[in-house]
Each structure stands twice: as C-alpha cells, then as structure tokens.
Structure 1
Amino acid sequence: MLCLLEKDDEGQLSEDIEYPISGEQDQNVVKLSSRNAAQELIARFLLKEDEISSSNDSGKTNILEEISTNSHKKHPLVLSEKVQKLDEIKSTTSDDQEEAKALLLVCDVCIEPICSSDDLQYYACAECGYFVHLTCSKLPPELHIPKHPQHPFSLTCKPSAVGRFICRACRWWTNANYYQCKPCELSICIKCVSASMMTSSVKHNGHKKHHLTQFQSSDPIICTACGLQRSSFGFACEDCHFYVCYVCALLPPTTTQRWDKHPLLLIYPPYFEHPEEFYCVLCETEINPNCWMYHCHECDYSLHPLCVPQIGRFRHTKYGRSLNVNNHSHPLTHVPEAKYKSFCGSCNNKRLDWKPAYECES
C-alpha cells in the first residue's frame, strides 16, 4: 500500500494520515507521550473514571496538611504548594546544572520528577529532602494485580539508602517503592504496577494508526521503540506487530542536555531528509534508524534515549540519599558519578571513574 509521507511540525517524516479510531474522544484513552505519564497512570487506578479529569483541579479539597508514611518515619511530610521550577537553579555551575535538575524534587516513591505546572502540591520533608507526589501518597497498602491473581501485593520500600531491587516487569534496577508478592518473591515498581492495572487503551504518538492495548506474553518480546529484547509486559498493536515496553512507552516527549539550550524532541521513524546515518553524540555509536531517539533540530544531533542522563541514569534511581557504614565515621552520599581517578575504599581500590558510587563529602 502506498503511504503518503509528509514533514510534520517536529520536522520528522511521519505518516500524515491518521486512521479514524472509534472512541478517540473517550475519557478512557490515555494519550502518550506525556511528561506526567507515570502520574496519569497512577491516577487511573486510584480514581474513578469520572474523577480523572478533575484530579488536578478544584477536586483537591480534602487534602491533609500533614501525613506520616512507613517509607519515611523520621519526620511527618508537610503539604507544599510551590514547585521550584528547574530553570530557577542558579547556585550551580553550568556543568553541574543537569545533575542538579535531576536531583531536584524527585518523588521518593515513584522516582519521577515533581516539576510541571500540574504538580502544584506535593508532600515534603525539607530536612531530609524527601518528596512525594499527591497521587503516590494515596497508593493502597495492598493491591490485587489481575496479571498475578494468586496472591495480593503489599506496598514495600527498602529501609536502607541502597534500597535497590530489579523490577520484574521492566527489568530495571531502581530504589523506588514497589509492590511485592512475598510468597512468589515477585517485586514490581510503582510505574509498572500502574501500567499493568490500566483498563484504558493507549494512543501513542509513536504509532498513530491504532490504539495500543496491554499485553502479557510468556516469552520476551523485541520492543519496537528501542530494538531490545524486553520483558513480556507492555503495550501492543497486534494488527501491526507493534510492541513497546513500559519504559519506552513512558518516555517524556521532550528533555534537555547540559550543553544545549534547545529542547531535545522524542522522534519516531521514518525520519525526514537526513542524508547521514544517526550517531549518538554521547556514546558515539550508531543509532538504529528504526528506533526512537531524541533529536535537537537546531543543532542536528541525536541521542539514544537511555544515554540522556535524566532518562537513563536518573529516571530509575534517586541519588543524594545518605548511608551509614560500619567502617567509616561519616555518612556516605549516593552520587551518580564518582570523580575522575577515584577509587573504591572497600574492594581493592577499584577505579570508580564517572560510575555511580557512595561518596564521603567530608
């Protein structure tokens, strides 16, 4: 079949014809990509469908001014109403601003930023730098997940600052809170649980022909977005053999890079009028032209999504937490990059250059 191809508003080659989809205006359709995709998915299983549209409006009337949580028992969390904008960071040098932005106001429950105009309220312990989305503060302590009906899942967090585990759905290491089935030793992060609990269909800009629905397979699948073999959970258009894992489905539509003032746009194949092959400027390897990538149209360079620090390095782990160890007198801080020519103080002086590590600031 002949496709008519035309340059769209983002300067990429895409299918200009969007096939009519029944019920597209239905409130029961989640539109991706979105900056607040994780929070929208969490709201989907927390709220009734008729409450979703008003969840960020005047419906927030019975919000407690102060709460206590099992994941942060040191101090109560206080309701805060002013979100510090990312562009207000002035105390750091230009080289460090990207890391500072990624560390700023990240929800400790889901490890997603609190940075948009929709997040006008959140809970915070300023003393500990602990923040929680309003939606994440309402997560039920126990949950029955349809894809695993054998046992209920309990909301859990690891008490130590290390606190990392592998999510069985997205297969990423993370220090977020999670739901756990103890009898089956099954742990799933908040974002994947929210996605798995959805009953809505998904309209994604990466596949405009049809809506996507959830799928679960006994075998791993090849994600259309990243080209990698992923877990058997995700969204799919079975008619087109289009599969996208939860991680790629929740990629934000835009992001930034430390040395570039322009926004990086998430773009999808096929691409328009690009005479050269795509290379990631960070890892310096070729990008599969059939996969999604971030691209700066002004400067004409591209990046693998997971090479962008706040997508790959910061999106699953919250850095800045402190850890006390028996063989050191000061607390250690979890940092995304150890300094150049730094060595591990515990395992035979292993080099830690630019790797995540725990650092003694003193």
Structure 2
Amino acid sequence: MDTKYAGYYCQECDYVAHLPCTYDKLLMDGYVDISVTLDAQFEEISLEEGGVVGEIKHFSHQHNLCLGDKEIEDDKFCEGCGQLILDSFYKCEQCKFFLHESCAKLPKKKRHLLHRHPLTLNSRGDCMFYCSACKHPHRGFSYKCDECYYNLDIQCISLPETFKHEGHQHSLFLAISSMEKCKACDSSSNCYGAFFEPVFVCTERDFVLGFECASLPLEARYDTHLLKLTYTVEDDSGEYYCMICKEKRNPNHWFYYCEKGGFAAHIGCISVSWRS
C-alpha cells in the first residue's frame, strides 16, 4: 500500500485498508447509509406530450416555472447551483428566474459520507453561505444540516464517492481527510497551504483533486467565448497568460480555454462569475 494515499488504519492491530476496498465492504455490510429521500421539492402543474413535465411549482420561487422551449439568447445562471444555463431548464415567465431541470428536481434530503447527519435542501436566495467541502462562498441552493452548521453546495454534493474525471485517466476515490495538494491548482498557492480536507485521490498514480476543482463545470462562458475546462497548455510557447487579469498562468494548472478565439483564463477568474 502506497503511504502517500489516504487509507483506513487500526492503531490497535495495525490493520490497513485501501479507501475503495473499505468503502465497498461497508456498503455491502450496511454500515454506510448513503440513501436519498426522493420526496421532490416541486409540484407538477402540467404534463406535455411524452410525459414531460411542462410546468411546475417549486418551493424556491413564488411563481410557477415553465420548461424552456428555446435556447437562451443572453447568459443566464441557474438560481440553484449558480452555474451557466447550457442544458434543459425551467424559467419564470414573470421574472428573471431560471433553474436547471436537474436542480429543479433535486430530492428534499440527502446523506453524504462527509457528514454524519441527514442534509436538507434549502434555498438561500441572495444570502451567502460557505460550502463545507470546497470552502467557497455561494448563493442559491444548499444541502444544510438541521443539527449543526454544515452546508454543501449543489456541485459538491452531486459528486459521487467514486468517479472518473476527464482530466485524469484513472478513477478517483473520496478521501475524507488528506493533506495532499490538488494537482489541478496546487493548493499551496492559497493562503492555507496544503489542506487537511476531503479530496479525491487516485490509487494508481500520484494525483489528488480538491473539491473546488472536482466540481468545476466542463464548460463556461465569458463575454462571447464558450470556454472548455482544459488540462494541458494550449501551445509550446512557454509563456501563458490569463486574458482577464493579465497575470501569468502556471502551465501545470488547469484553465479555461476557447480554441476558436484563442482566449485563456485562470479558473478563479472565470469561476467568480457564478460564485459571486
């Protein structure tokens, strides 16, 4: 077992186990409960052809919401997760309120391995909250613990305990607590240095991904540019700059890039648009 990666350890008998091996065993034996309460937070008002829910009443908004039937001309952000509307959505015909279809149909309660209590879906509106996983301020929806001050934003709670990210060739596994640096952004560049926080780890390579980078959208928009999350430098020039803040970019860090316009930007310079 590679000691660089997190694992489970018994101090009394020196028993050691990989994270994925222990997790699978706990699930099989019923010691881990990641059940989801499927009670929806919306009421179906009308059905369209094919059983599609065309109109709903959602707990987060005073008016009924209708399923969007055409592309949005201007950039609109989801009031639930705060990210750009790029796929199916519901909208209010009376005011500028938009929800991804997936955010509109989130369950009322969820459980997550990062927290011992059930978490309840809340609409924060314009009130800011800090996500306990990625440590960033957010508006919109959160899953909140009713017993203690613990919040997860929609992107973080939606990440599975094991998943495959297109930025890495192997599967990544949730590590509850680690001091490894995120390979996508190099966590030592922030004021906290290496973090002792939940991360995703690869058990085959020296690769760690923090929640902040694991939850990044694969596509974003800035001005007229449709940007894609990019993992390797765009050319071999050796000089790389962010076209928003004009500062240098670390060639080893992930960034957002529009190939058509040759537009590149720091992750942080783009993400501020949906986190503010």
Deviation at 1:254, TM superposition (A): 4.5
- 3-state SS of 2:144 partner: strand
CA RMSD of superposed structures (Å): 2.9
Counterpart residue number, 2:129 = 165
Cα pair distance change 1:263/1:274, threshold 3 Å: farther
In the aligned structure 2, how far is the partner of 1:200 from the partner of 1:316? 25
**Take 1:278 and 1:177, find their aligned partners in 2: how far apart are those partners?**
36
Distance 1:108 1:301 in 2: 27
| CA separation of 1:46 and 1:248: change in aligned 2, threshold 3 A | farther
- Residue 193 (structure 1) aligned to one of 157, 162, 170: 157
Provide the C-alpha distance between the structure 1 equivalents of 2:259 and 2:58, rounded to a whole number of angstroms.
44
- Deviation of 1:46 (Å): 8.9
Matched residue, 2:173: 213
Change (3 A) 1:71 1:264: closer
1:247 Cα offset (Å)? 2.9
Q: How far does residue 255 in structure 1 lie from its aligned partner after superposition?
A: 4.2
Distance 2:63 2:263 in 1: 46
1:67 pairs with 33, 37, 56, which one? 56
Letter in 2 for 1:68: K
Q: Rate the CA distance shift 1:250–1:168 in 2: closer, same or farther, 3 A.
A: closer
Corresponding residue for residue 177 of structure 1: 141
**Aligned sequence identity (%):** 29
Gaps of 5+ in 1: 1-44, 48-59, 90-100, 318-362
Matched-pair contact (CA < 8 Å) for 1:265–1:294: yes
Q: Judge conservation of contact 2:91–2:97 (CA < 8 Å) in 1.
A: yes
1:267 alignment partner in structure 2: 230
SS in 2 for 1:162: coil
TM-score (norm 1): 0.54
Return the alpha-carbon distance in structure 2 between the equivalents of residues 127 and 191 of structure 1.
27
The alignment status of 1:284 with 2:246, answered yes or no, reads yes
Which residue pairs with 2:111 in the alignment?
Answer: 144
Partner Cα separation in structure 2 for residue 240 and residue 274 of structure 1: 25
Once the 2 structures are TM-superposed, how far is the Cα of residue 164 of structure 1 from its aligned partner? 0.8
1:212 Cα offset (Å):
1.9
Query: For the structure 1 residues 143 and 256, does the alpha-carbon distance in structure 2 shift closer, same or farther, using more than 3 Å as the test?
Result: closer
Q: Aligned partners of 1:315 and 1:173: how far apart in 2?
A: 10
Q: How does 1:225-236 map to 2 (within 5 A)?
A: 225-228=184-187, 229=194, 232-236=197-201
Taking structure 1 as reference, are residues 220 and 166 closer, same or farther at Cα in structure 2, changes over 3 Å only?
A: farther
Q: Is the 8 Å Cα contact of residues 162 and 172 (structure 2) preserved in structure 1?
A: no
Cα contact 2:155–2:215 (8 A) shared by 1? no
Contact 1:170/1:231 (CA < 8 Å) preserved in 2?
no
Q: 1:1-362 maps to which residues of 2 (within 5 A)?
A: 61-72=50-61, 74-77=62-65, 79-85=66-72, 88-89=73-74, 101=75, 104=76, 106-116=77-87, 119=88, 122-149=89-116, 151-158=117-124, 161-195=125-159, 198-202=160-164, 204-208=165-169, 210-217=170-177, 219-228=178-187, 229=194, 232-258=197-223, 263-269=226-232, 271=233, 274-297=236-259, 302-308=264-270, 312-317=271-276
One-letter amino acid matched to 1:268: Y
- What is the letter of the counterpart of residue 127 of structure 1? Q
Distance 1:299 1:131 in 2: 28
Query: What secondary structure is seen at the aligned counterpart in 2 of 1:315?
Result: helix
Contact 2:162 2:171 in 1 (8 A): no
Is the CA contact 1:170–1:230 (under 8 Å) kept in the aligned structure 2? no
Please report how far the alpha carbon of residue 190 of structure 1 lies from its aligned counterpart in structure 2 after TM superposition: 1.5
Q: Residue 250 of structure 1: CA displacement?
A: 3.6
CA distance in 2, matches of 1:84, 1:263: 15
Structure 2-normalised TM-score? 0.69
Q: Contact 1:109–1:176 at 8 Å: present in 2 too?
A: yes
User: 3-state DSSP class of the match of 1:302?
Assistant: strand
